[in-house]
Amino acid sequence: MLSLKLGPLAIPTHLAILYAGLLLAWLTGWWLGRKRGANPESALFNLVLLGALSARLAFVIGYADLYADNWLSALDIRDGGFDPLAGMLAALLGALWYLWRTPALRLPLAAGLATGILASGLGFAVLHALTHSQQLPDLALRTLDGEPISLHQLRGKPLVINLWASWCPPCRREMPVLQAAQQQNPHLEFVFVNQGEGQQQVIQFLQQQGISLDTLLLDSGARLGQSIGSLSLPTTLFYDAAGSLQTTHLGELSSASLRHAMRTLNTHPQPPLHKDTP
């Protein structure tokens, strides 16, 4: 399950796990600190903010060549580009500072952090195991010419499968990035699976946008999204040559977040991706 349904919203599962860990950390800290008059809420908020900013900064620095032409794009966190290790290290250093400077917070803050880290760590471990156990679904889709094709026929090369629709604004924004990556990485098979739209609608959209895509398939019943447990678009899946799922990305891709995800496929190094590549 890649995303969870909450009313009209679809929340990525990894974010739901993170939110649950933060909630448990706050509840534990509040419970232990209430009798001591030491509520660690503000400290926890500051640590989360420090970790998020550090994780984003480390990611941007790591892919500085892709942000060089437009540094303002580094502020657009919709691409999901974060370095978790850098974020955790910064938050840990911040926590040590709080524990040293504020003795009254030591027990509630330490207990809250331990509870949150343990809960979210177990959740991420389960999610990682479930993700890597998934295989490429054996679904029969159609080409733009109406010919049937099975996803299993595409195995043999690492696969990047993008689920999209023309009505989806982030799908449209990321399409040039994926088009450039397809042209620059012939060792990968890029597959664009339209969810729920008809042949003429897709053709008209591609012509209007001036986009040319290889291996574009139609999934009129949106069965692929249902089979992998994704309730939102765009969703991008990264499979190895044997058809085992390596990682996923829910939401809009930037050149940096796409390159980062492609590294999980263990292929030879990719050339730089630039947003302005036609």
Please give the backbone phi and psi of residue 190, each rounded to the nearest 5 degrees, phi first.
-95, 130
Q: What domains can be seen in the chain, in order of their start residue? A: 3-132 (no CATH), 140-265 (3.40.30.10)
Helix/strand/coil (H/E/C) assignment for every residue in 179-224:
HHHHHHCCCCEEEEEEECCCHHHHHHHHHHHCCCCCCEEEECCCHH
| C-alpha–C-alpha distance, residues 267 and 58, integer Å | 23
pTM, two decimals, is 0.88
Residue 12: partners with Cβ closer than 8 Å, 6 or more residues away: 2, 3, 4, 232, 250, 251
Kind of pairing, strands 216-219 and 140-143? antiparallel
Q: Which of 1-5, 16-20, 122-126, 138-142 is predicted with the least confidence, judged by mean pLDDT?
A: 1-5
Instruction: Read off the pLDDT of each residue in 179-198 and give the average, rounded to a whole number.
Output: 94
DSSP 143-187: ETTS-EEEGGGGTTS-EEEEEE-TT-HHHHHHHHHHHHHHHH-TT
DSSP for 116-134 reads HHHHHHHHHHHHHHHHHT-
Could you report the per-residue pLDDT of 132-184, keeping only the tens digit for each? 889 999 899 999 999 999 999 999 999 999 999 999 999 999 999 999 999 99
